[in-house]
């Protein structure tokens, strides 16, 4: 099951998108500060999708996209293997980190 982060997922458009994603078998993480929406929407989404979405496929974080913070630990770590497969390690470290940064910026 793929996971998608939906910022503003408790808003009108965001909540409708979340329902569709859940019904399409995605796990969804909602990030919303509820300044222009209500936490009650999350319960409504759960009610709407209870029959179609996998259990525990919805997570909601009360947060703001303007709050920055990222700790990035992913990487390959076997020293011996890194000398026999250097391109795998390079690709994982560099391209993976660039993809993460792009996702954050976009």
User: How much is the pLDDT for 40?
Assistant: 97
Residue 22 has pLDDT above 90, yes or no: yes
User: How much is the pLDDT for 106?
Assistant: 73
Average confidence (pLDDT) over 64-77: 74
Residue 80 has pLDDT above 90, yes or no: no
Residue 87 has pLDDT above 80, yes or no: yes
Q: How far apart are CA 103 and CA 106, in angstroms?
A: 5
Average pLDDT for the chain: 89
User: How much is the pLDDT for 20?
Assistant: 97
* H or E, element range at 30: strand 27-32
Structure letter (DSSP) for residue 66: T
User: How much is the pLDDT for 76?
Assistant: 75
Domain boundaries, the chain: 3-62, 69-106
Q: How far apart are CA 82 and CA 61, in angstroms?
A: 37
Question: pTM for the whole thing?
Answer: 0.68
User: How much is the pLDDT for 23?
Assistant: 95
User: How much is the pLDDT for 79?
Assistant: 82
């Amino acid at each position: 099951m793929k996971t998608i982060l939906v910022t503003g997922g408790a808003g009108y458009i965001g909540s409708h998108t979340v329902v569709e994603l859940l019904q399409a078998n995605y796990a969804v993480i909602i990030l919303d500060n509820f300044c222009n929406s209500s936490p009650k929407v999350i319960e409504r989404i759960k009610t709407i999708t209870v029959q179609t979405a996998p259990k525990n496929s919805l997570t909601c974080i009360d947060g703001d996209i303007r709050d920055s913070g990222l700790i990035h630990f992913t990487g390959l770590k076997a020293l011996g293997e890194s000398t026999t497969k250097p391109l795998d390690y390079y690709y994982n470290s560099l391209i993976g980190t660039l993809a993460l940064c792009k996702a954050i910026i976009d």
